[in-house]
Structure 1
Amino acid sequence: MRKKSFKLTVALLFTAAFVNAQKVQYKEFDLDNGLHVILHQDKTAPVVAVSVMYHVGSKNEDSARTGFAHFFEHLLFEGTDNIKRGTFMKIVSSNGGQNNANTTQDRTFYYEVFPSNQLELGLWLESERMLHPVINEVGVKTQNEVVKEEKRQRLDNQPYGKFAYEIFRRLFTEHPYRWQTIGSMEHLDAARLDEFKAFFKKYYVPNNAVLSIAGDIDVDKATTLAKQYFSAVPRGADIQQPHIQEPPLAHEIVDSVYDANIQIPAIMAAYRTPGMSTHDSKVLGLISSILSSGASSKLYKKMVDDKKDALEVGALNYALEDYGAYITYALPNNNAPLTQLLQDIDEEVASLQANLISESDYQKIMNQFENGYVSANSRVIGVAENLAEGYTFYNKNTNQINEELDQVHKITREEIRDVAKKYLNKDQRVVLYYLPAKQ
């Protein structure tokens, strides 16, 4: 008994030391126009990340005008009153920087990573994007073609490229998560210029954004510069995020999809789950690690190594702001029946629902989470994004970046069993047979 107690004490001390060593220090404040500013100093390398996260994604769109948020991810690189069209990215690269942007169902994220002596340039570029971008017919037409080509490459002509869309449109019937982030090309073609301008005016405002800066900075100087470049941006109207209740799934939905881009079929099962900020969503993340993270995971070992009836198998906790989707999938080996693959997966899920995982499996997934946490915060852009997401999605709690590890460490084996039992049930899921289109 003493030996066990000693080991537990050592483990707890190690965990506490680990959490403290990874603690992210930051300063935050609001400008008068509502822009939230977060500053993190990290002098380990002479680089700085400048980012802006807007709380707008595909869920904020009109059902007859989908794709606007993703479209603006592209459109706001067109130019501004002071940046000539087509030169935004050239300015970044010619000053030793990199830049990009991405859009989800819930937010749009723009960033630049520069040598630290170019902090002011990064702030000027993002303030220009927010203050007075040029939105005209030329830019809209140009980016419309860019988005269409992206859709062809990433979705239409990509093997299994539409799997998420096919799942979400069956998993959600009322919530805007039911359409894909890239949206409808027909909707974008039909949209008028004044509709694009109205969308920008409503959502791309300082009181709907977080400016997050991380890297080799002087905090006082960065504070002064942030105020200098963003204080002049006018505040927008207050924004109410959509809160749409999705009716519960009362029975299993089984359907088939045919894809001309694949030769190997797949079986998928998806369960609607709670939003990313909930405790249960974090538990579901650990469950996905148990089932499919690495070659020693339950599904991989059983179906790929032992039975050899799967070429690939996985489980994914697709966490979003309002809801999430827990997705399992498998591709058959040696013409194994898809029904058999689904049964194999269901057996492992049922085992999680009925039994506690072993202490060694529990420690393994905790180690995996810690490694993932360190990796996610190993670059300044990762820290900048995680700080902004904490404020945006966790009730303005920027410190979520430091609380995450402790929250996960408190998850028990009993909670893993109970959460699996609560959400991963056959009578509340979508089963999708993803099949090659007939020639």
Structure 2
Amino acid sequence: MNDHADHADQTDHAEEADQSGRTDGAAEQRGSGRRLSTRQAAELLGVKPATVYAYVSRGQLTSRRDPVGRGSSFDAAEVEALARRSRREAAAAPSGELSVRTALTLIESDRYYFRGVDAVELASRYAYEEVAEWLWTGKLVRGARFTAPPEPLAAARRAVAALPEHSGPVDRLRVAVAAAAVADPLRFDLSEGAVLASARCLIPTLVGALPEVGPAQWGGDGRLARRLWPRLTAREPDPDALALLDLSLSLLTDHDLAASTLAVRVAASARAHPYAAVSAGLGVLEGPLHGAAGRLAHRMLVEVLERGGAAPVVAEYLRAGRRVPGLGHRLYQGEDPRAAALFGRLEGLPQAGPALAAAREVAAVMARQGGGLHANVDLALAVLTLSCGMSAEAGETVFAVARTAGWIAHALEEYQERPLRMRPSGHYTGPRPPQPMP
């Protein structure tokens, strides 16, 4: 595991160095005195001289006043690295689709990887906080713990407590993020260290701001999964169930450019602070086509158990023209690897037996239809929440808390890119001007 981790770490740092142009080799070239004038830098970049200074103001280039002439000079290696990056961006996605370079998550051949390491294996071996640190830094921080500072936590709890009782989990989390942001005067510092410090405080603040369903002492000050448990269920936790909750958090940490993650990157591209970027992700997550799938799968399983079989329930979904929740994923031809990992562990949880059987019956009924749909992580998460006495909305909570780490990782990547690069042009379809004044 550590050999893989070291290799992935080296690869990511190499990529980051290539993107920024600030490699050790570039430093050596700077030391050798190879400099470019403004005109030479502009020619190499294919832009006007004024744009070169715009790059300087954005932090993408560094300039040095020429002690002899009247202009500025630029490190040649740094300019060349920026030119290579600009050419890659211009060449990306020839079909016109938005393409975003990322060193975080790769999905291929029905598997997914965090920084080159098998994500299921990583999540099965390490706790959520450790997986988050790996995604953020490419380094494994054994025993990592996240702690909520008193002031942001108190502000988030007051804000959440003021919401109506019927507020959903994402409502509460959005409000908690906004309150925590206001309590953090350093939120506008977008340096890597500052963003990571905010992330390590924000995630436990979100958990701590949620209303308690079970006794507070069940949460304690241990792992995040343990602290989240009494916010999800009134049942006393057992080690196997807690381990499953932690596994769920780890598996859901990131999943490439899902809709919510793309929203986070757009916000980060505009240099929104990390709290605002997470808020953008939560806004998209609340959509019925993204974050609500786990809730729908939970309710379907409840209905299957109440009616004693999956066939009549599935028939009603199909008759109404509704999609059966918890099945199929556009990125996987076979079974969602996250679902496979959770189902494998759920088999060892005695109280999961009925819900697990119901989920498998739903999948079997649909398989007879010949649609080729396999169980996805929403169905597995629904089995967990139902088995542990959690509400239908609990899956959304788990998903949102888990994915916050991934959103922060993508925001960190985007802060290193050219600002406002995610600005597509609209394809205007309205009446051509000039039109009469209304």
Calculate the TM-score normalised by the size of structure 2: 0.24
Task: Give 1 or 2 for the bigger CA radius of gyration.
Answer: 2
More helix as a share of residues: 2
More strand as a share of residues: 1
Relative contact order higher in (CA < 8 Å, ≥ 6 apart) = 1
